[in-house]
Chain A
Amino acid sequence: MGVDRLGPPQLGMSAETADDRLRQAEETLAAIVANRVDGFVVKTSDGERVVLTDRGVERPYRVLVDAMNEGAATLAPGGSILYANRRFAISLATAVDAVLGANLFEYLEADEPAYFRSAVEEGLAWRGEVAMRDVHGKRFPALVSLTPLGLEGTVGVLSLLLTDLRERRRADALLAAGQLAQRIFDTASEAVVVCDASGVVQQANREAQVLCGGFDPSGMPFARAFELVAGDAAMGVDELLQGSAHRLQVGMRRSAGELRLLASAAPLTGEGGARLGSVVTLTDVTDLHAATQRLERHARRQEAAAELSQGALAGEALDALVRRARAVMDELLDGSSVRTIGSFRKGVELRPGPPAHAQVVRRDVRTHDRVLGLLEIDPGCGRALTPEALVFVDHVTSVLCMAAEQRSLHARLHHEAHHDPLTGLPNRVLLEDRLDQAIARARRDGTRVAVLFLDLDRFKHVNDTLGHQAGNDVLIQIADRLRRYVRKTDTVARVGGDEFVVIHGDLADDAAAEAVAAAVAEVLAGPIAVAGRTVRVRATVGVSAFPRDGDDTDALLTKSDSAMYYGKRGGRNTIRVYREDMSERAVARMAMEHDLEAALQAGELELFFQPQVSPLSGAILGVESLTRWRHPRHGWIPPTQFVPMAEEAGLVGDLGSWAISEACRVARPWTAGSWLRRVSVNVSPAHVARPGFAEAVRRSLEAGGLAPGHLELEITESVLMHDVGGVVRPLAELRELGVTIALDDFGLGYASFSSLGSLPLDRLKVDKSLIDTRSGLHASRDNQMAVLLGITTMARALGLQVTIEGVETLEELEMARRVGCDEVQGYLFAGPQPAARLGELLERGPLRPHTRDARAM
């Protein structure tokens, strides 16, 4: 096989010296003159062409001379130019025609050597450097050789070859560049290997020799000197050498482990594009490769942790999350073995032994107050986890802890939705549920159920003389007594400040109900030690019984309440069993209802507006409108009193419609030129469910000129207790228009987060009892914060805004800020204001908290 020994890349091929070129031209010319050639290679626009000739030398001579890269001319004795080629004319900066017939001496500088002149004149061979001058008089150095042609009948005719030495300078520069390239080649930090076209190594620099094990691989096939494994099977090392691949990631096995190399190849071509071989550069990217792998693994870990937190947010069970966490750690911790210890359920105590060795990493999965389980990662083989791996472990752990905290918060919220925080007794929600069950059981078994409504007598007096804390202690002790007294199947609930309900099932007859009530009253009557004193608390008890007084929960509770009320009026500390005539309370109400109807006609109703402000800036963002009734005899009556009346009297629709129209009318001018964006109106579920409700609201908006986006309807949490179906459609319809919907009094226990999904909602108004720091309703401030945080977090997750109601102290404002609610409402900023006064407040700009005790106002 033909093997070309090549020099360093590209060198020596294009950087021939001017001397070499001249010598080659002389050699060719001599052969032609001696008639030893019969073919010529002529460059045409289509590339090279071979011309064969057998017609003497004159023609081939001409052809050749024209094709040459050197200047050439034929000189008659005395220096006349008989013939010249293009290259010759170009050196003189003129055309061939202009040169023919001229004398060579015209182009020589005056200081040319005398022996050159005599050689020309006498037709002698000569070779040397002369100074020449082009047609513009520009001087240039040239290497000239004179050869007698020696053709028949041409004595004294010379052939002249001229190498323009301006080009030689260029060639020298090329040579210098070549040497530089050689030095670079020798000292390059990459391995550089020059291969010929058949893949045999011609040259290898120092790095390349190191790479293949410390010897010079020249003469060996490349593939044998460098045993490379292409990472991608589709593209091999052969392709690289043949020039169809330019860059390739390859591996190279060494005793110390596999190296990652980046191989790139550049073709070596001669003139005309012939492929002579290639220059292969091998760069050690082992470190880079490892770094890339680390980055990729980092990305996969991030992704895995993100997926895990999505699962956590979506409510996946903790033990399922732990299983997933274990699986991703198994995959992404470089072969570490991952073990979980514990059940990851609340209340299971952990007794882990010590870790097997010091490299084992342990992480607690815990809530703020207890450890639910452990993750244990053993890197094995005496290795330690990398810092990045530790970060990943911590990330996963924190996701699990967050999920654990959330689950525990959820459980707590659920418990709190059904229990009274002070005494831990069931609240009204759970009470009603239990009573439903008791009724169902009694109906099935043919037994009776007693409902006892207890109200402590003069409990306010205890609070006033001994303080809130003592009052709370009393309530707790009474709750304990009741709890201890009743049977396991009975229920004791706290339904108000000093109101309790006891359900006692399985009674044989109605008389038994009274006996139970007497026993309960007796239990309460015992002395209670509180705040270093002994107090006696008595209670008034109202009794109703199933089935005698009613056959559902509502009726039984109302009637026991009525009986208790009657008992109070009758002088307290008594037990009253419900009788029909006790409903006379309702009669008194009917008179009021009549008055209310009249009030609507007579314009005795007026809207007040309470600001809802940004907890941070105090800017008034919204106002809640509250209907006040100025009763001709009783004075101002708050809605908490007359709204239930209106509901019973069937006036709720008229009342609500009036409030909406009035709010639209009054608030419209406020929405321009202030931060105010919203006026809200309380509506009752019964009103919303009435046919034509949405249409009526739309008309009110139009009539008042208020944009729908500026109206908010507040519906109370208790709507969720009833049939939600009737209110959803009209609310959704209005919401389409832009009207926003708020759920009022959230947190009283009617609504759980899971039930919120059934209503079209924009805002939660958190009931004032939840922010209250002074009633002692909350077991601890931390506990209170946790509940508020839980509510705001969940609300955010549901896309709801949060307004906290009843903010009355700076401490409560600070809590509201910390839980990150959107707005607060309460006496700390402002109570309900008449319309004119509210207009003034809006003009004055953001509200500032009152520094005096707001409640005293």
Chain B
Amino acid sequence: MNAPAVQPSDDAGGTSYPAWHFRLYVAGQSPRSLTALMNLHALCHAYLQPGYQVDVIDLLDDPGRAAVDQVLAIPTLVRLSPAPRLRVVGDLTDVERVVQVLGMGTS
């Protein structure tokens, strides 16, 4: 769980980068963290096939990294790309709202 969960993109060349790039802040295997991770994968699978990338950051390992995105509550999801940077706090259970806030439906 501590290792970044990376969904490979379909691009083997490596010189182009996925259009969708997320960073998910979790706290070990706390219930909300697990829920958020499962929900995120489900969402991405449903809306963003085939190219996306998720970096999972475990703040129990390195709480200092919370400062990068000014994370207060766990779990928090940050959309890095496409710009602008957006965030959703919580376990992503409210699917409709998440899709709307992050603009995944319009992909």
Task: Tell me the A residues contacting B by CB distance below 8 Å.
Answer: 2-5, 12, 24, 27-28, 30-32, 34, 36-41, 47-50, 52, 54, 60, 64, 67-68, 219-220, 270-274, 276
What are 10 A-B contacts defined by CB distance under 8 Å?
A2-B23, A28-B73, A30-B90, A31-B90, A34-B90, A37-B91, A38-B31, A39-B59, A272-B64, A274-B64
Q: Are B64 and A67 in contact (CB under 8 A)?
A: no
CB pair A41–B74 under 8 Å, yes or no, is yes
Q: How far is the CA of A630 from the CA of B92 in the complex (A)?
A: 134
Interface contacts beyond A12-B85, A52-B27: sample of 5 additional A-B pairs, CB < 8 Å, sorted by A: A5-B81, A36-B93, A37-B89, A38-B27, A38-B32
Q: Does B45 contact A (CB under 8 A)?
A: no
B83–A31 CB distance below 8 A:
no
Q: Are B68 and A49 in contact (CB under 8 A)?
A: no
Answer whether residue B3 sits at the interface, using C-beta atoms and an 8 A cutoff.
no
Known: A2-B55, A270-B68. A38 touches B74 (CB 8 A): yes
Which among B31, B70, B87, B88 has the highest number of chain A CB atoms within 10 Å? Answer: B70
Q: Do residues B74 and A271 form an inter-chain contact, with CB atoms below 8 A? A: no
- Report A128 CB to chain B, min CB distance, Å: 22
In Å, the complex CA distance between A272 and B55 comes to 19
Q: Which residues of B72-103 have CB atoms within 8 Å of chain A's CB atoms?
A: 72-76, 80-81, 83, 85, 87-94
CB closest residue in chain B, given A2 = B55
Chain A residue contacts of B74, Cβ below 8 A: 37-41, 50, 52
- CB proximity of A745 to chain B, nearest CB, Å: 95
Q: How far is the CB of B9 from the nearest CB of chain A, in Å?
A: 11
Contacts of B47 in A (CB 8 A): none
Tell me the minimal C-beta distance from B56 to chain A in angstroms: 10
Q: Which of A4, A24, A36, A274 contacts B32 (CB 8 A)?
A: A36
CB-contact partner of A4 in B72, B76, B80, B92, under 8 A: B80
Is B66 part of the contact surface with A, judged by Cβ < 8 Å?
Answer: yes
Chain A minimum-CB-distance residue to B22: A2
B42 neighbours in A (Cβ, 8 Å) = none
Give the CA-CA distance A40 to B33 in the complex, in Å.
12
Question: Of A5, A28, A34, A270, which contacts B72 at CB under 8 A?
Answer: A28
Is B27 in contact with A50, judged by CB distance below 8 angstroms? yes
Bitwise interface map of B from 1 to 41 toward A, beta carbon under 8 Å scored 1, else 0: 00010000000000111000101000110111100000000
Contact B63 A50 (CB under 8 A): yes
State the Cβ distance, B94 to closest chain A Cβ, in Å: 7
Residues of A within 8 A of B88 (CB): 27, 31
Partner of A40, one of B28, B55, B72: B72
In the complex, which residues of chain B have a beta carbon less than 8 angstroms from the beta carbon of A36? 32, 89-94
For A34, give the chain B residue with the smallest CB separation: B90
Decide: A50 near B15, CB < 8 A? Known: A39-B27, A39-B73, A41-B71: no
Answer whether A39 and B70 are a contact pair too, CB < 8 Å, given A2-B23, A30-B89, A34-B90.
no
CA of A41 to CA of B73, assembled, Å: 6
**Do residues B87 and A24 form an inter-chain contact, with CB atoms below 8 A?**
yes
Chain B CB within 10 A, most for which of A40, A50, A276: A50
A510 to chain B, nearest CB (A): 119
Which residue of the partner chain, among B17, B21, B33, B59, contacts A41 with CB atoms under 8 Å? Answer: B59
Residues of B at the A interface (CB closer than 8 Å) are 4, 15-17, 21, 23, 27-28, 30-33, 53, 55, 59-60, 63-68, 70-76, 80-81, 83, 85, 87-94
Question: Contact check: which of A30, A49, A273 meets B63 at CB < 8 Å?
Answer: A49
CA distance A36 to B36 in the complex (A): 9
Most buried by B among A40, A60, A219: A40
Selected contact of B66 from candidates A41, A52, A54, A219, CB within 8 Å:
A41
Q: Would A272 and B67 count as touching, CB distance under 8 A?
A: yes
The reply to whether B73 and A271 form a contact with Cβ atoms under 8 Å apart is no
Enumerate chain A residues within 8 angstroms of B28, measured Cβ to Cβ: 52
Residue of A nearest to B59 (CB): A50
Q: Considering the chains assembled together, what is the distance between the CA atoms of A38 and B53 in angstroms?
A: 24
The answer to whether A47 and B64 touch across the interface, beta carbons within 8 angstroms, is yes
When A and B form their complex, which 10 residue pairs have the shortest distance between CB atoms, in order from nearest? A272-B67, A36-B90, A39-B74, A31-B90, A39-B27, A31-B89, A48-B63, A38-B32, A271-B67, A2-B55
The interface residues of chain A, by DSSP majority, are classed as mixed
How far, in Å, is A407 (CB) from chain B's closest CB? 75
Complex Cα distance, B67 from A67, in Å, reads 13
User: From residue A220, how far is it (CB to closest CB) to chain B in Å?
Assistant: 8
Contact of A271 among B70, B85, B94 (CB under 8 A): B70
Interface pair A34/B27, CB less than 8 Å apart: no
Q: Could you tell me the distance between the alpha carbons of A64 and B71 in the complex, rounded to whole angstroms?
A: 11
Do B89 and A28 have beta carbons less than 8 Å apart? yes
What is the CA–CA distance of A40 and B81 in the complex, to the nearest angstrom? 25
Which of A31, A32, A271 is packed against the most chain B CB atoms within 10 Å?
Answer: A31
Given A3-B21, A272-B64, check contact A37 B55 (CB 8 Å): no
Residues of B with C-beta under 8 A to A219:
15-17
Known: A39-B30, A48-B63, A272-B67. A64 touches B80 (CB 8 A): no
CB closest residue in chain A, given B70: A271
> In the docked arrangement, what's the CA distance between A31 and B92, Å?
9
Contact between A39 and B33, CB atoms less than 8 A apart: yes
> Which residues of B sit under 8 angstroms from A47, Cβ to Cβ?
63-64
> Nearest residue in B to A7 (C-beta to C-beta)?
B83
| Nearest chain A CB to B63 CB, angstrom units | 4
Decide: B15 and A48 in contact? CB cutoff 8 A. Answer: no
Q: Once bound together, how far apart are the Cα atoms of A788 and B83, in whole Å?
A: 92
> Within the complex, what minimum Cβ distance (angstroms) separates A576 from chain B?
120
A3-B17, A52-B27, A274-B64 known; A32 vs B70 contact (CB < 8 Å): no
The residues of A that contact B87 with a CB separation of less than 8 Å are: 24, 27
Bound state CA distance, A54 and B16, in angstroms?
42
Interfacial chain B residues near A30, Cβ < 8 Å: 89-90
Q: Which residues of A contact B60 (CB under 8 A)?
A: 50
Which chain B residues border A273 with CB–CB below 8 Å?
64, 67
Q: How far is the CB of A675 from chain B (nearest CB, A)?
A: 84
CB pair B75 A37 closer than 8 Å: yes
Residues of A within 8 A of B30 (CB): 38-39, 52
Q: How far is A28 from B30 in the complex, measured between Cα atoms in Å?
A: 18
- Of B21, B66, B91, B94, most buried by chain A (CB within 10 Å of CB) is B66
The 8 Å CB contact of B89, one of A2, A27, A270, A272, is A27
- The residue in chain A whose Cβ has the minimal distance to the Cβ of B74 is A39
* Alpha-carbon distance between A2 and B68 when the two chains are bound, in angstroms: 14
Output the least CB separation between A192 and chain B (Å). Answer: 21
A31 touches B73 (CB 8 A): yes
A12 to B55, alpha carbons, bound, how many Å?
A: 21
Write the chain B residue with the least CB distance to A221. B15
Q: How far is the CA of A272 from the CA of B57 in the complex (A)?
A: 16
Q: How far is the CA of A34 from the CA of B15 in the complex (A)?
A: 41
- In angstroms, Cα B85 to Cα A770, docked, is 99
Query: Nearest Cβ distance between residue A219 and chain B, in whole angstroms?
Result: 7
Chain A residues with CB under 8 A of B75: 37, 39
**What residues of chain A lie closer than 8 Å to B65, measured between beta carbons?**
272, 274
- Residues of B near A4 (CB, < 8 A) are 80
Q: Which of B23, B70, B73, B88: most chain A Cβ within 10 A?
A: B73
- Chain B nearest Cβ from A186, distance in angstroms: 18
Chain A contacts for B21, CB-based, 8 A: 2-3, 5
B96 to chain A, nearest CB (A): 13
Would you give the shortest CB distance from A147 to chain B, in whole angstroms? 14
A354 vs B59: C-alpha distance when bound (angstroms): 86
* Separation of A49 and B67 alpha carbons in the complex (Å): 11
Q: How far is the CA of A30 from the CA of B88 in the complex (A)?
A: 10
The verdict on A37 contacting B70 (CB below 8 Å), with A2-B23, A5-B83, A52-B30 known, is no
Contacting residues, chain A, for B67 (C-beta < 8 A): 48, 270-274
Across the interface, do B68 and A40 meet the contact criterion of CB distance under 8 Å? Answer: no
Question: A26: nearest residue on chain B (CB-CB)?
Answer: B89
| B95 CB → nearest A CB, Å | 12
Note all chain B residues with C-beta closer than 8 A to A41: 59, 63, 66, 71-74
Task: Name the CB-closest residue of A to B65.
Answer: A274
Cα of A357 to Cα of B2 in the assembled complex, Å: 78
* Distance between Cα atoms of A60 and B76 in the complex (Å): 15
Complex Cα gap A219–B89 (Å): 30
Give the CA-CA distance A27 to B64 in the complex, in Å: 22
